[in-house]
Structure 1
Amino acid sequence: MHRFRLVTFDVSGTLLNFRRPPQTLYSEAASLFGVTAQPSDIALIFRAQYDKLSREHPNFGQKTGIGWKKWWNLLVVDVLEKATRCQYNRSTYDSVAGYLINAFENGDCYAIAEGAQDLLSYLQQTNTIIGVISNYDERLHCVLNSLDLNKYFNFVVTSYEAGIEKPSPKIFEKALALALKIDTHVTPSCSLHIGDKVETDYVGAIGAHWHCALVTKSSDELCRRGLQRQGVLPNYIFRDLVELRAKLPHLWERDIGEDAKKF
């Protein structure tokens, strides 16, 4: 029996993975509208455009009021315009964007991570409060529902709906407040967040005085050492959710206060 009363999950890269690389999905969607965009070109451009738009309109446009649909439309159009050197008219790019926005509203683009359902079932059987804390827009509810994962969660907190993004500790505090409505004995020290990114998941959880387990998708020792240099405790680093499920009942206490000083 594990000792956590509350366990929350990040989604992209932790609970769910893309069935195929996003650049491939973008390229295939574009081809449906007569647009030729190579996946390699899309991949080169995507991250820079994503980061730029996130700076200009944080939290998928929630902060500036443009809304998540407009935000994703702008991103897709910007990426495709650069990948194709503006060879097509704006209405065509808008059509591709609309198609992709709808496509990512269901679970067809995603695969459930190995070990996820076994871990979720185990947590549910042990009467653990289970939640989601994700930097995502409100489509996440439809995605989880279409994959039949919503049945495991007591609550889902998206950054867009909360108005706060990870790594802000405030989004973890919102999740804790929801858990307290179910179990008044929940505290940060008995709360665990599971994610895959130090800069959002680990920093945010530790800042809120929670525990945090990182899923690395790698058994490479160099990767583990790199995470440890960033302050992640070695016993909270896992290759995948299968390993985490096996070791969860044996995680030992740590001094959260000392960990929090690292950030």
Structure 2
Amino acid sequence: MLRLRLLTWDVKDTLLRLRQPVGESYAAEARAHGVQVQPEALGQSFREAYGAQSRLFPNYGQGQGLSSQRWWADVVKQTFRLSGVHEDGVLTLMAENLYHDFCSARNWEVLPGASETLSRCCQRSFCMGVVSNFDNRLENILSQCDLRHYFEFVLTSEDVGFAKPDRRIFEKALRLSGVPPEQAAHVGDDYTRDYRAARAVGMHSFLLRAAGQGKEPEVPPEHVLPTLSHLLALIEKG
């Protein structure tokens, strides 16, 4: 059995997921302003705009003088521009509305097994925290989705100033909890940013991998979670 005292968690696609594709949410917002754009086109434009913004201003422009709200506003406006919408007034309104919409449980849902697993981990007295490449809306989103109370701390890359796989965000979690890395484990769905990054600081790590997703060659089967409900059995086996 692994002697663990701390569990840190990724959020997006580990505990929470979007209720619908980004393109659908953006298209609905556009319709509310009398603008018709295809969700598929918006989805493609979003990926392009988000990628470009992330390269220019990593980690929500933290350290480059941008607030995350301004960062996201630029992404939203560019997404619509790439899809042929150019009216500045409408773009500004849609950017504001979408920024606030994505802060609520209306756009996020809890993954199957997440609440039950977190609850069982709390009953076993694990110290738990969040380590996420998210902006500072995350506390509110977790509260709205009724998950915030499971965690002793929530670390976002915007707050800390470093994004996974940077080891410093994991080191901050270890400092906050006062737990040495060999008594800590991280749970996430990304091989590089979650699994490998946590192991690089000496933590244990579990990779959430739904059936049908590609297998990573260096991940032993006892570190792979087909669902979150498998976690405690794997900890007890380890």
* Common topology (TM > 0.5): yes
What's the counterpart of residue 183 of structure 1?
Answer: none
1:13 aligns with 2:30: no
| Aligned residue number for residue 118 of structure 1 | 116
Root mean square deviation, CA, Å: 1.4
Instruction: Tell me the percent identity.
Output: 34
- Does residue 47 (structure 1) correspond to residue 47 (structure 2)? The answer is yes
Q: Is the 8 A contact 2:222 2:234 kept in 1?
A: no
Task: Measure, in 2, the Cα distance between the counterparts of 1:163 and 1:3.
Answer: 30
Distance of 1:31 and 1:19 partners within structure 2: 18
Report the counterpart of residue 224 of structure 2 in structure 1: 237
Q: CA deviation at 1:179?
A: 0.5
Q: Could you tell me how far apart the structure 2 residues matched to 1:232 and 1:47 are?
A: 28
Contact 2:4 2:183 (8 Å CA) reproduced: yes
Q: Per the alignment, in what secondary structure is the counterpart of residue 59 of structure 2?
A: coil
Deviation at 1:2, TM superposition (A): 5.6
* Other structure's SS at 1:132 match: strand
Please list every run of 5 or more consecutive structure 1 residues that lacks an aligned counterpart in the other structure: 181-185, 253-263
1:60 is matched by which residue type in structure 2? Y
Once the two structures are TM-superposed, the CA of residue 15 in structure 1 deviates from its matched residue by 0.5
Give yes or no for the alignment of 1:137 onto 2:127. Answer: no
Give runs of aligned pairs for residues 1-263 of structure 1, distance below 5 A: 3-83=3-83, 85-86=84-85, 88-180=86-178, 186-217=179-210, 219-220=211-212, 223-224=214-215, 227=216, 229=217, 231-250=218-237, 252=238
Q: Which runs of 5+ in 2 are unaligned?
A: none
Change (3 A) 1:19 1:147: same
Residues 89-146 of structure 1: CA distance to partner in whole angstroms, max 9, x if unpaired?
A: 1111111111000011122211111111111111111111000000011100111111
Count of equivalent residues: 238
Distance in 1, matches of 2:228 and 2:131, equals 17
Q: CA deviation at 1:240?
A: 1.5
Q: TM-score, normalised by structure 2?
A: 0.95
- Find the residue that maps to 1:214 and give its secondary structure: strand
Tell me if the contact between 1:33 and 1:95 (Cα under 8 Å) persists in the aligned partners.
no
